[in-house]
């Protein structure tokens, strides 16, 4: 077990803004930071990070917590793994003397199965011939760790028996299937097996390519507690250092496409696993680079995947280009035309603005007014995405690309999109912070003023402010408080701009002193209305006069 002191030290010394900025783009708003939530889809930023409270909170989906919880959620790590990752950032080495976790048993089990698959590949001439015919040399077959699962294989069950892994766990791990005779056999029988690893290089799933025309042609492990296609890039464990070094990533659709780039020397290539590019993918990639070249297939499904991925990339503020393959995928280009031609396609990648304009222009008759209008209407969402994320240069590039297809200048297009009902700025009411807001703000941010702030008369404050101050005086961590309080505090921290704290304090102290006097004057006036004693009336009038002078009145 790690001591509470070590955990608190990590939370205290880690810069939560710096950590979260590795995954999403944050913008300073007052004394807090704001950005698009990485945990749900949104167009208007509702994700707030407070560097003083060291907390994050999304007012859209409710995601909330400290830096440890953020790393757990964004990286799909256990508490221990997140603690170790953060500890390394500040040179604190954390070791857990615990029994092997279920995740470790899962990884160990898959690793041992993979060892058996690699042995089977060397013994199976047909499987080896399949890879050799695809142009792989023997050293490449070993480097990419290909394996083979024989037809009617029971290898997985044999490994499970040796490791004493119960059949219920083997089923849960997603590596076997039931046959027509209700027996179990390997899920990947009759297939070349490709290890799928997490970004630490640990096997967490397999991909299989049939060599006997069985369908589906490609097969992935099913989703498990430790494998989600939405968050895993194939070959990221090998590509991440290069991606960070060259500051861009090449994203492909399949294993062999990503491998083709690596074989051609483009080792910053990764692949999605038969799924759409997701926010989870990009949250992980965003810590390495914000520049991407998409290399998806050119068929209809590939084009749909390209458009959907472009939208996700743009909404998350990535800069994107699209590689244009002519009726071939990267693997086929590499095998038939060589590595240099594959690199040429990459170098000729077009900015996404040009790609989407060219793509949509094929579906409309731009020589007609109606066709032109529908074409412009189709591009509205893309214009909005760039404007809402303040990508002004890319927005202007998009207008230039549209202008080449229609008889409008960029100025006319700018006017069209800004005046159209689709893009109208919403007027919002001014929401200026009150004196009570400033009291809470200063209490959180200015430790040296807390004693003085506690002396301010709470009787002239609202019930909510008194309640929050009582909470803060006991513990500054508000993460366990109810939703209303958390929402209020995070909103407050984003609304109040930084300034001279001492001057702000002196100003609001005077105003609260005046409120206290005004409250007492109100009480005196109430008593005077019902006062029957001349002596008491005299005393009340003298006090009232004194208080009025204190407020600067006559």
Alpha-helical (H) ranges within 446-533 are 450-454, 463-474, 483-495, 501-530
d(CA 259, CA 146): 12
Contact 191, 197 (CB under 8 A): no
Tokens of 85: 């990752």
Q: Which of 50, 43, 25 is nearest to 35 (CA)?
A: 25
Q: Which of 85-94, 232-241, 367-376, 500-509 is most confident?
A: 232-241
What are the angstrom distances between the C-alpha of 10 and each of 6, 284, 438? 6, 22, 29
Sorted by where each begins, the domain ranges of the chain are 4-89, 102-220, 236-348, 360-419, 435-550
Q: Return the axis-axis angle of helices 435-445 and 501-530, rounded to nearest 10°.
A: 140
Least confident stretch, 171-175, 236-240, 347-351, 367-371: 367-371
Q: Return the axis-axis angle of helices 255-263 and 339-347, rounded to nearest 10°.
A: 100
For 252-261, write each residue's pLDDT tens digit.
Answer: 999 999 999 9
**Between 538 and 15, residue with greater pLDDT:** 15
SS (H, E, C) 383-412: HHHHHHCCCHHHHHHHHHHHHCCCCCCHHH
* Long-range pairs of 220-223 with CB within 8 A, sequence gap ≥ 24: 220/196, 220/273, 220/274, 221/174, 221/175, 221/187, 221/196, 222/174, 223/174
**Superfamily in which the 4-89 domain is placed by CATH:** Zinc finger, CHC2-typedomain (3.90.580.10)
For 178-222, write each residue's pLDDT tens digit.
Answer: 887 778 999 999 999 999 999 889 999 999 999 988 889 999 999
Q: Which of 34, 45, 43, 27 is nearest to 382 (CA)?
A: 43
What are the angstrom distances between the C-alpha of 551 and each of 311, 435, 510, 521? 60, 18, 10, 11
**Between 40 and 494, residue with greater pLDDT:** 40
d(CA 232, CA 402): 35
pLDDT for 349 equals: 97
213: left (phi over 0), alpha (psi -120 to 50) or beta: left
For 89-130, write each residue's pLDDT tens digit.
Answer: 888 888 765 556 788 899 999 999 999 999 999 999 999 999
Contact 357, 405 (CB under 8 A): yes
* CATH (residue range 236-348): 3.40.1360.10
d(CA 426, CA 44): 12
pTM: 0.66
Percentage of the chain with pLDDT > 90? 44
Secondary structure (3-state) at 315: helix
Q: Which of 90, 51, 58 is nearest to 73 (CA)?
A: 58
State the average pLDDT over residues 444-462: 86
**How would residue 430 be classed by pLDDT, with cut points 50, 70 and 90?**
very low
pLDDT for 424 equals: 38
Q: Do domains 102-220 and 236-348 have the same CATH topology?
A: no
Secondary structure (3-state) at 426: coil
Q: CB-based contacts of 340: which residues, under 8 Å, 6+ apart?
A: none
Instruction: List beta partners, residue 319.
Output: 291
The length of the chain, given as a count of residues: 554
Q: Which of 324, 318, 329, 330 is nearest to 347 (CA)?
A: 324
End-to-end, the C-alpha distance of the chain in Å comes to: 68
**How would residue 428 be classed by pLDDT, with cut points 50, 70 and 90?**
very low
Residue 419 has pLDDT above 80, yes or no: no
For the 102-220 domain, the top CATH level (class) is: alpha beta
Q: Which helix (H) or strand (E) holds 29?
A: strand 27-29
Residue 421 has pLDDT above 50, yes or no: no
Q: Which of 177, 174, 172 is nearest to 154 (CA)?
A: 177
Tokens of 265: 């020397």
d(CA 80, CA 187): 32
Cβ burial, residue 462 (10 Å; 0-12/13-18/19+): exposed
376: left (phi over 0), alpha (psi -120 to 50) or beta: alpha
* Long-range pairs of 427-432 with CB within 8 A, sequence gap ≥ 24: 431/495
d(CA 509, CA 208): 70
What are the angstrom distances between the C-alpha of 349 and each of 211, 241, 323, 344? 33, 23, 4, 9
**How would residue 5 be classed by pLDDT, with cut points 50, 70 and 90?**
confident
């Amino acid at each position: 077990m790690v001591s509470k002191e070590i955990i608190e030290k990590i939370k205290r010394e880690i810069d939560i803004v710096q950590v979260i900025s590795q995954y999403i783009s944050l913008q300073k708003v007052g004394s807090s930071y704001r950005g698009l939530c990485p945990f749900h889809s949104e167009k208007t930023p509702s994700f707030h990070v407070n560097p003083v409270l060291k907390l994050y909170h999304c007012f859209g989906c409710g995601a909330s917590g400290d830096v440890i919880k953020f790393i757990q959620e964004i990286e799909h790590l256990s508490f221990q793994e997140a603690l170790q990752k953060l500890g390394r950032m500040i040179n604190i080495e954390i070791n857990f003397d615990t029994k092997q976790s279920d995740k470790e048993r899962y990884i160990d089990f898959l690793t041992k199965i993979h060892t058996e698959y690699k042995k089977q590949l060397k013994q199976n001439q047909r499987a080896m011939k399949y890879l050799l015919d695809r142009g792989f040399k023997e050293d490449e077959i070993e480097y990419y760790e290909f394996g083979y699962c024989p037809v009617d294989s029971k290898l997985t069950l044999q490994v499970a028996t040796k490791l004493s892994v119960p059949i219920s766990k083997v089923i849960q791990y997603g590596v076997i299937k039931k046959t027509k005779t209700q027996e179990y056999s390997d899920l990947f029988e009759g297939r070349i097996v490709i290890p799928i690893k997490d970004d630490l290089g640990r096997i967490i799933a397999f991909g299989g390519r049939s060599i006997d025309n069985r369908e589906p042609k490609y097969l992935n492990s099913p989703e498990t507690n430790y494998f989600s296609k939405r968050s895993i890039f194939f070959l990221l464990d090998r590509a991440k250092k290069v991606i960070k070094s060259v500051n861009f990533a090449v994203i492909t659709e399949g294993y062999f496409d990503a491998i083709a780039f690596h074989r051609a020397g483009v080792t910053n290539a990764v692949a999605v696993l038969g799924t759409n590019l997701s926010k989870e993918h990009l949250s992980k990639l965003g810590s390495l680079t914000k520049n991407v070249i998409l290399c998806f297939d050119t068929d209809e499904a590939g084009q749909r995947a390209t458009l959907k991925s472009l939208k996700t990339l743009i909404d998350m503020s990535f800069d994107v280009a699209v590689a244009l393959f002519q009726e071939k995928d990267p693997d086929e280009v590499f095998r038939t035309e060589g590595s240099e031609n594959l690199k040429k396609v990459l170098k000729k990648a077009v900015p996404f603005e040009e790609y989407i304009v060219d793509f949509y222009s094929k579906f409309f008759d731009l020589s007609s007014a109606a066709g032109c209008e529908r074409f412009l209407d189709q591009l509205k969402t893309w214009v909005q995405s760039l404007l809402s994320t303040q990508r002004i240069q890319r927005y202007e590039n998009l207008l230039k690309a549209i202008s080449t297809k229609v008889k409008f200048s960029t100025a006319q297009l700018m006017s069209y999109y800004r005046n159209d009902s689709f893009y109208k700025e919403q007027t919002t009411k001014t929401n200026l912070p009150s004196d009570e807001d400033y009291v809470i703000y200063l209490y959180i941010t200015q430790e040296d003023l807390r004693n003085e702030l506690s002396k301010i008369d709470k009787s002239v404050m609202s019930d909510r402010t008194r309640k929050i101050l009582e909470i803060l005086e006991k513990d500054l961590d508000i993460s366990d408080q109810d939703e209303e309080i958390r929402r209020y505090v995070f909103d407050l921290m984003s609304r109040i701009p930084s300034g001279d704290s001492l001057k702000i304090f002196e100003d609001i102290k005077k105003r609260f002193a005046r409120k206290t006097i005004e409250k007492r004057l109100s009480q005196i006036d109430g008593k005077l209305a019902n006062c029957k004693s001349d002596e008491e009336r005299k005393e009340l009038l003298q006090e009232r006069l004194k208080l009025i002078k204190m407020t600067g009145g006559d």
